[in-house]
A and B are shown apart, each in its own frame.
Chain A
C-alpha cells in the first residue's frame, strides 16, 4: 500500500494502481476518453493529464498510466493542467467538430470552439483512442481490427481493408467507442459491423426472434470461452426480463412487485 496525495487529500492505495485510480478513490474527477477499466491503459488521448510530484520533481503525466508510489503528490486542477487539457480538447474538436460526445465533454471543460481549423481527417469522428482495437484483441482475443498507417494517416482498419474474416460480431468495439463511431446493425438476418464493412450471420432470440448478436460470437462463447454461459445469448434481454417477471408473479409474498411493468416483446 502507498499513501498518495490528490489535490491535498491523502489516499491509501495499492502500489500496483495508477494515479487515475487513486484519483477515483479520492472522489476526484479527471476527464478521459481512451481509458476503460477493463482494458490496459494506453495513454493516447492525453486528456487525463495531471501534475505529478515525486522526490521534489514535478512533471506533467497521463494519470491513466502513471504508477503510484509512496509519497506521490498529484495536482489535477492547476492552471498548467487546465491549459494543457483544454489544448488537447481543442485539437480533438478541430479533428472531429461534428462529434456530439466531444462537444459535450469539451463544454464541461470550458471549451466551446477550437482555435484551430480541421486539418486532419477523422472518419466517423474517430479520435484513434484505440479502445476498439484493444477490446477486440485483449478482451475478446480476436484481433480482427488494428491500427494501420501512421501519423495523420493513422486509421482503425480491417486487414487490407477487406471484411474481417476473424470478426465474431460481439459488438464490444461498438460498446467501448467513446464517440459512437462504430455500429452493429441487423439487416436481413445478418449483423453488419460498420464502418468495418464486415457482415456475419446473426443469432436470434429463441423466444421472440429478435436479433441478439453475431453467430460466431455465440458459438465461440459456448464452445471455447464460457460454456457455462451457454444459454445467455440464446434469449434476448427483453425475454429474459419477461421470464424473470413471470417468476416474481408466482411468488405470493412478492405479488405487490407485479406492478413492475413488463417491456413489450421484441423491443
Chain B
C-alpha cells in the first residue's frame, strides 16, 4: 500500500488507468477501483485528474465514489478486516463478532485504527453462508469464527513487519 511520499504522480497514475479503458466514461467504476487498488483509496487529486481526462464533471465522480460501499475516499489501514453481516452469519452471531472486533481495535464500522494497521469493513453478504460466520482479512478467509478467535486473528496481522501467518 502506498504511503505518502515526497511527490505522488496522481496525473500519471490517472492517465494510465484511463488509457487502459480507452478513456471511456462508461468505465468510471472500474477505473476508480483500479485507482483504489493502486493507492489503497481514491485520492481527491487523482479524482480531479480523472474527471478532466474523461471529460466528465468532478461532481459525477464524487457521486459515484461516495455511493458505492467498496470505494474509499480516505486511506485505509494496512489490513482490511471484512466481516460478513449476511443473514446466516447474523443468525450465527456475526453481530457479537462485530462488537468484539470494534472493542479490540477501538474502531467503528468503516473506520481505521489510530495506528493505521487495520480498517474494519462490515459488508452485506459474501455468499459463503455454508461457513458462517465468515470474516476475511485482505484475501484470506476465516470461517465459523467465534468471538474468542478474534484476538488470535488480529494478532497474526499485528506484527510490525506486516507479515501474516502463511495460511496457504
A148 in complex: contacting residue of B47, B57, B66, CB < 8 Å:
B66
Q: Which of B14-68 contact A (CB under 8 A)?
A: 44, 47, 57-63, 66-67
List, in ascending order, chain B residues with CB within 8 A of A148's CB.
Answer: 62-63, 66-67
A150 to B44 alpha-carbon distance, docked (Å): 19
Q: Say whether A158 contacts B59, CB under 8 Å.
A: yes
A65 on the B face (CB < 8 A): no
Q: Say whether B67 contacts A143, CB under 8 Å.
A: no
| Total CB contacts across the A-B interface at under 8 A | 41
How many chain-A residues does the 8 Å CB contact rule pick out? 17
List, in ascending order, chain A residues with CB within 8 A of B66's CB.
Answer: 148-150
Q: Say whether B57 contacts A160, CB under 8 Å.
A: no
B124 CB, min distance to chain A CBs, angstroms = 12
A144 in complex: contacting residue of B47, B59, B61, CB < 8 Å:
B59
A147 on the B face (CB < 8 A): yes
Interface string of A155-179 (1 = CB under 8 A from B): 0011110001110000000000000
Which residue of A has the minimal Cβ distance to B58? Answer: A159
A145 on the B face (CB < 8 A): yes
List, in ascending order, chain B residues with CB within 8 A of A164's CB.
Answer: 59
Which residue of B has the minimal Cβ distance to A164? Answer: B59
B39 CB, min distance to chain A CBs, angstroms = 15
Known: A137-B59, A144-B59, A150-B67. 17 other contacts (CB 8 A): A142-B57, A143-B59, A144-B57, A146-B60, A146-B62, A146-B63, A147-B63, A147-B67, A148-B62, A148-B66, A149-B67, A157-B62, A159-B44, A159-B58, A159-B61, A165-B58, A166-B59
Name A's B-contacting residues (CB within 8 A): 137, 142-150, 157-160, 164-166
